[in-house]
Structure 1
């Protein structure tokens, strides 16, 4: 098996002057600074006092899961002769928080709307989704079930 290495740089930006001297005295903000790529400003989940205008870890995980699925979908569609002209997903993830405050994702559903060129076989287009969980790097790495509820439309 080939080994792939990924790197990232997380830089805490929430020191408001006193560091972590008190629990409420610092901001839960940071930047993702991957070399050679735009910086992504992040924050805690808004339910935990984070900035709702910034990406949070839960957003990033769900987005990565959806993007990985999309890329494999497009790959398999091209191989199958299914011409995809548009792909948009609005995935939903569900989490639970335990009595001690620790939470985790319990499931996610990908809900892509896929635009197909006229004449595409919808049964073949649908079947592609079932192949992806076995190859998607992110889906194979998460410890919760991921389901799919695709909708298809055709170009006018």
Structure 2
């Protein structure tokens, strides 16, 4: 199977002047700075003293799972002749923190809300969601279950 590389650039922005001389002397902030793309400012989880106004690794992982699922859903819906006019997702990740602060995700539930045109076979539209776990790059790369609990609405008109 062919392979290819993915790259990014992480740039620590939390040096307050003395680096990591003391545990509380630095911020847990960084930028994702990929050339040619918008910079994403990040911090660690607010539970660990991070800046709640910035994305953290857990947010990014949930977002990546939801986005990958959405892109495959839109592809398969288009192939099936199902017209999607709106799509949002509010995934929920269940995590645990063990001794010493080591954490992990136990599972993620995607909660896509899909708006389709009148006359759409909703059973067929829902069935597409359950095919995606076999192809989604991100979901296939994690070591916890990714469930999907979709809801649907019919666009007016």
In structure 2, C-alpha distance between the alignment counterparts of 1:150 and 1:91, rounded to whole Å: 10
In structure 2, C-alpha distance between the alignment counterparts of 1:51 and 1:100, rounded to whole Å: 21
Deviation at residue 37 of structure 1 after TM alignment = 0.2
Matched with 1:8 is 8
Q: 2:47 aligns to what SS in structure 1? A: helix
- Structure 1 residues without counterparts, runs of 5 or longer: none
Deviation at residue 118 of structure 1 after TM alignment = 0.6
In structure 2, C-alpha distance between the alignment counterparts of 1:3 and 1:37, rounded to whole Å: 23
Structure 1 residues 1-156: aligned runs within 5 Å: 1-156=1-156
Please provide the CA RMSD for this pair. Answer: 0.6
Deviation at residue 63 of structure 1 after TM alignment = 0.1
Residue by residue over 1:19-76, the C-alpha shift from the partner in whole angstroms, topping out at 9 and shown as x without a partner, is 0000000000000001110110000100000000000000000000000000000000
In structure 1, C-alpha distance between the alignment counterparts of 2:24 and 2:110, rounded to whole Å: 36
Q: 2:100 aligns to what SS in structure 1? A: coil
Normalising by the residue count of structure 2, what TM-score does the alignment of the two structures yield?
Answer: 0.98
Superposed structure 1 runs of 4+ greater than 2 Å apart: none
Q: 1:61 aligns to what SS in structure 2? A: helix
Q: 1:100 aligns to what SS in structure 2? A: helix
In structure 2, C-alpha distance between the alignment counterparts of 1:121 and 1:67, rounded to whole Å: 23
